[in-house]
């Protein structure tokens, strides 16, 4: 269904996203970066991809690794790095906006099946994901993994094999959005928590109209019909 993203492309996207993040957040030299596990969850890639991306940044002099201590921002020429950063990732491929619209169409279009087929146990699983999301947010940790898990669980609850094959689109949206705009790493978890709760409540009430409206509001795409 979806064209697989090559390992080289993922490593490049991760490296560029990390560079953009360091610049956008204006992280000072000697600032410790999150752990490989945290970066893996935040960028929606494997830890091996993160290691490869960090190694490339070490070679460029953007970060430095200290055994047993972690990875830290190096004292590098920020103007030079900023000048050489690509504005977009993967020219010729769908943009992050294209992917967001496709995801919205898929999830909003699946609402009827979700409401009809989701089980009480699956709704409880959504609540459990949301609870982990809230806990990690309170601890100042990345919540992107839980955001992805929440929406993948929604699509899987349709019990439709074709829709199930399209769930990688969810991860691609997060990954490409972060690669094109690293500032989205600092999103608004409070808003997302509230909106996820509204979606769960609509599912508990088996209310298709409310679920569709909650999903539509969650995506915040202009000129996207309900």
Residue extents of the structural domains in the chain: 7-84, 96-219
Residue 1, pLDDT above cutoff 50: no
Least confident of 52-61, 171-180, 199-208: 171-180
Computed over its alpha carbons, how large is the radius of gyration of the chain? 19
Least confident of 32-36, 63-67, 87-91, 191-195: 87-91
Is-contact 157 149, C-beta < 8 A? no
SS3 25: coil
Residue 172 binned pLDDT confidence (cut-offs 50, 70, 90): confident
Is-contact 105 221, C-beta < 8 A? no
Please report, for residues 5, 74, 108, 172, the alpha-carbon distance to residue 9 in angstroms, rounded to integers and kept in the order given.
Answer: 7, 24, 29, 12
Q: Cα torsion for 163, 166, 168, 173, to the nearest 10°?
A: -110
What residues form DSSP beta bridges with 126? Answer: none
Q: State in words which class domain 7-84 has.
A: mainly alpha
Topology adopted by domain 96-219: 1.20.120
Q: pTM of the predicted model, to two decimals?
A: 0.77
State the pairing for strand pair 70-73/63-66: antiparallel
């Amino acid at each position: 269904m979806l064209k697989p993203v090559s390992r080289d492309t993922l490593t490049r996207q991760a490296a560029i996203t990390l560079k953009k993040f360091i610049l956008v957040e204006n992280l000072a030299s000697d600032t410790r970066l999150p752990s490989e596990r945290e970066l893996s969850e935040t960028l929606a890639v494997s830890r091996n991809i993160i290691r490869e991306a960090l190694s490339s940044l070490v070679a460029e002099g953007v970060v430095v690794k200290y055994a047993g201590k972690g990875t830290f921002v190096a004292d590098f020429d920020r103007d030079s790095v900023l000048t050489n950063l690509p504005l977009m990732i993967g020219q010729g491929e769908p943009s992050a906006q294209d992917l967001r619209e496709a995801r919205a169409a898929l999830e909003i279009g699946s609402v009827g099946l979700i409401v009809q087929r989701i089980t009480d146990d699956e709704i409880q699983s959504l609540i459990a994901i949301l609870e982990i999301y809230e806990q990690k947010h309170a601890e100042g940790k990345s919540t992107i993994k839980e955001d992805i898990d929440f929406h993948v669980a929604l699509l899987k609850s349709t019990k439709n094999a074709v829709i199930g094959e399209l769930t990688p689109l969810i991860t691609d949206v997060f990954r490409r959005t972060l690669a094109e705009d690293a500032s989205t790493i600092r999103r608004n978890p409070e808003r997302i928590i509230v909106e996820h709760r509204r979606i769960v409540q609509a599912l508990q009430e088996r209310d298709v109209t409310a679920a569709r409206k909650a999903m539509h509001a969650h995506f915040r795409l202009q000129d996207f019909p309900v």
